[in-house]
């Protein structure tokens, strides 16, 4: 894709909230959504929301049911097109690009549902992606060996994916996502429906992605677990941005406790 001019934020909407707008990085090295809005059947479900994530940063997109966080997440991912506003990657406007084009530019996505190819072995799951991005066979196999070792799944190399545990499957999915060498990864409900051991594994995997210099965006209903792994969070309420801040600032904010966390919430 040809380079485009740097994109400045669109004029502010009329959200009516008293909270100050967060600083959003729209230049090189970041993934940003600038003033995005989405309407379904004349109902505005996301209104003038701006979020950003830098490389090596973990950001949460949180809020109560119906807040618009999933729609916002899907607009960043490319599954839903915003009616207004832009999505920016490293200073390039990618608002109209489909998911596969965004993937080529460095945006990875891990859905909540299992996404391994159940009929393939662990190695063949990762190899299937490498064959798309790396034409040289020797280089593909070297990268495959490296990813298997990095995620401690070398011993599972020939195991059918259908036989993996939940934690093993997630490691394979993340290793496969890294085969495309992404700059950013979007995690959809990574803590949903998993046991405490798997929760600890997801925490470790998110920390590993951060250490690799990959920017991570998480949306999840499990707010306590999400707050434990993120650097910052954006809290949405009624389709609008209520607050952006660190986990401690989020938990301590009276409006967030009133509409989302509840007065008795503690980390």
Q: What is the pLDDT of residues 115-148, one digit of tens each?
A: 889 899 999 999 999 999 999 999 999 999 999 9
Q: Which of 6-10, 31-35, 227-231 has the lowest mean pLDDT?
A: 6-10
Band (pLDDT 50/70/90 cuts) for residue 28 is low
pLDDT at 113 over 80: yes
Inter-residue contact 232 to 248 (CB < 8 Å): no
pLDDT of residue 20: 37
Domains in the chain, CATH or no CATH each: 56-81+98-116+164-261 (3.40.50.300)
Chain mean pLDDT for the chain = 88
**pLDDT score recorded for residue 154:** 97
- CA distances, 40 to each of 47, 67, 71, 137, 237 (Å): 12, 14, 11, 47, 17
Burial 72-101 (b: 16+ CB within 10 A, else e): bbbbbbbebebebbbbbbbbbbbbebeeee
Taking the CA atoms of residue 86, residue 90, residue 146 and residue 177 in that order, the dihedral angle to the nearest 10 degrees is 0
Decide if pLDDT at 12 tops 80. Answer: no
pLDDT in tens, 167-181: 888 889 999 999 999
Specify the pTM: 0.83
Integer-rounded Cα Rg, in Å, for the chain is: 19
């Amino acid at each position: 894709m040809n380079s485009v001019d740097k994109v400045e934020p669109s004029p502010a909407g009329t959200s009516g909230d008293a909270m100050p707008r967060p600083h959003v990085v729209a230049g090189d090295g970041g993934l940003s959504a600038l003033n995005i809005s989405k309407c379904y059947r004349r109902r505005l479900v996301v209104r003038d929301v701006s979020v950003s994530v830098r490389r090596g940063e973990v950001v949460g997109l949180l809020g109560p049911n119906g807040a618009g966080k999933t729609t916002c997440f899907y607009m960043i991912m490319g599954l839903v097109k915003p009616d207004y506003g832009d999505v920016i990657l490293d200073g390039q406007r990618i608002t109209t690009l489909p998911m596969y084009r965004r993937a080529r530019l460095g945006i990875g996505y891990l859905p909540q549902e299992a996404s391994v190819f159940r009929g393939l072995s662990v190695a063949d799951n990762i190899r299937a992606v490498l064959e798309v991005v790396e034409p040289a066979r020797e280089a593909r196999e070297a990268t495959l060996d490296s990813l298997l070792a990095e995620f401690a799944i070398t011993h599972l190399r020939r195991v059918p994916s259908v036989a993996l545990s939940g934690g093993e499957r997630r490691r394979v999915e993340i290793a496969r996502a890294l085969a495309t060498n992404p700059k950013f990864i979007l995690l959809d409900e990574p803590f949903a429906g998993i046991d405490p051991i798997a929760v600890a594994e997801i925490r470790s995997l998110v920390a590993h992605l951060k250490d690799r210099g990959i920017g991570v965006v998480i949306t999840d209903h499990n707010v306590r677990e999400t707050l434990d792994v993120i650097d910052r969070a954006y809290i949405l309420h009624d389709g609008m941005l209520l607050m952006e801040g660190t986990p401690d600032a989020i938990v301590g904010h009276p409006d967030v406790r009133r509409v989302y966390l509840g007065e008795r919430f503690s980390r």
